[in-house]
Amino acid sequence: MTCGDDLTGGYRDAGPAPDDVDLDRVWLGVAAQVWRRQPGPAERMAGRLLRSPGLARALVTTPSLLLGWVIATVVILLAGVGFTLGTGTPWVALLAPGIAAAGIAYAYGPGIDPAWELSQSMAVSDRMVLLVRALAVFGLNAALGLAASAASGAAAAVTFGWLVPMTAVCALALAVATVTRSPNVGVAAGSAGWVIALLASQAAEGRFTAAITDSFLVLPYLAFAAGCGAVVLFATRIPRGSS
């Protein structure tokens, strides 16, 4: 028995339904209203900004924007604040790029987004889903990192300095995750890239923090991020020769 049968059965005592009433259609109208999901405020705002309800829905289902991920990010950055205040080393600034890179690599892809295969056959472009999710993850992580930096006085001088390296590390993670179709490989590449940058700073200038404080690195970071962005766009291009 379907719910529609239940509904019509409930009215049976009132006498037979008029012949011209399509009860199945009536039930579907009722069901559509009863089952209907009310989008949350974030989804409604994203829908208005993106002008696409589908893209907004895809955004709020980003695996690395879900509550568990956000809580984990906050916990790590709070620990960073504690270590920064305790040691004087700007741990928040050193941690933030790696955290954001992991979040971006885990925003989309096979094995991470359960419906990735289906998403690829949808009218709302999978490239748009990827880019919007990446931007949202980056934005959220940057905001959390900035808040954590502001809370740790020792890092105040480099609060904005790490945003540029974070862009480069995130772009690397995203590019590798996209090309290899493996978010895990993307996370590994982003993390390895950032560790190498820190070790290189230590070797060259005797301090890890040179990777986020040396202004001459800004242009190379941005160029590297742009190169990785180009790789992402190339890897998600519309293949020619399909027709």
Partner 1 sequence: MNVELTELTRKFGHTQAVAGVTLQAGAGVFGLLGPNGAGKTSLLRMMATVLPPTSGTLRLLGRDPGGYGPRREIRRRLGYLPQNLGYYPGFTVYDFVEYFALLKDMPPGQVPSAVATAIEQVGLGDKARIKLRTLSGGMLRRVGIAQAIVNQPELLLLDEPTAGLDPEQRVAFRALLREFGERATVIVSTHLVEDVAAACSEVTLMDSGAIVFHGTPDELIAQGEGSGAAGDAPLERGYSAILAAARSGVAARS
Rounded-to-integer distance, Cα 46 and Cα 55, Å: 8
Q: Does 229 bind partner 1 (CB under 8 A)?
A: no
Of the candidates 158, 164, 184, 180, which has an alpha carbon nearest to the alpha carbon of residue 64?
Answer: 184
Q: Which is nearer to partner 1, 126 or 214 (CB)?
A: 126
Q: In Å, what is the CA distance from 171 to each residue of 58, 149, 223, 233? A: 21, 22, 11, 11
Q: Does 200 bind partner 1 (CB under 8 A)?
A: no
Least Cβ distance, residue 38 to partner 1 (angstroms): 11
Applying CB under 8 A, among 28, 71, 200, 218 the residue interacting with partner 1 is 28
Q: Considering only the C-alpha atoms of the chain, give the largest distance between any 2 of them, rounded to a whole number of Å.
A: 89
Site string for partner 1, 128-167 (x = CB under 8 A): ----------------------------------------
How many residues at the interface with partner 1, by CB under 8 A? Answer: 38
**The token pair that represents 133 in the structure block:** 């999710």
Q: Which is nearer to partner 1, 50 or 185 (CB)?
A: 50
Q: Does 184 bind partner 1 (CB under 8 A)?
A: no
* Cα angle: 100, vertex 231, 118; to 5 degrees: 75
Q: Which is nearer to partner 1, 203 or 238 (CB)?
A: 238
Where do we find the tokens 């809580």? 71
Q: What DSSP line would sit under 178-216, residue for residue?
A: HHHT-HHHHHHHHHHHHHHHHHHHHHHHS-TTHHHH-GG
Q: Does 31 bind partner 1 (CB under 8 A)?
A: yes
Q: Cα 235 vs. chain centroid, distance in angstroms?
A: 19
Q: Which is nearer to partner 1, 92 or 129 (CB)?
A: 129
Least Cβ distance, residue 62 to partner 1 (angstroms): 11
Torsion angle of C-alpha atoms 64, 69, 71, 75, degrees rounded to 10: -110
94 neighbors 198 (Cβ within 8 angstroms): yes
Applying CB under 8 A, among 120, 139, 181, 205 the residue interacting with partner 1 is 120
- The window from 31-39, 72-80, 98-106, 197-205 that contacts partner 1 (CB under 8 A) reads 31-39
150 neighbors 144 (Cβ within 8 angstroms): no
**The token pair that represents 170 in the structure block:** 């995130």
Give, as ranges, the residues between 50 and 69 that touch partner 1 (CB under 8 A).
52-54, 57-58, 61
Rounded-to-integer distance, Cα 166 and Cα 154, Å: 19
Give, as ranges, the residues between 79 and 108 that touch partner 1 (CB under 8 A).
none
Applying CB under 8 A, among 17, 42, 71, 115 the residue interacting with partner 1 is 115
Q: Does 113 bind partner 1 (CB under 8 A)?
A: yes
Q: For binding to partner 1 (CB under 8 A), which residues are involved?
A: 2-4, 24, 27-29, 31-33, 35-37, 52-54, 57-58, 61, 113-125, 238-243
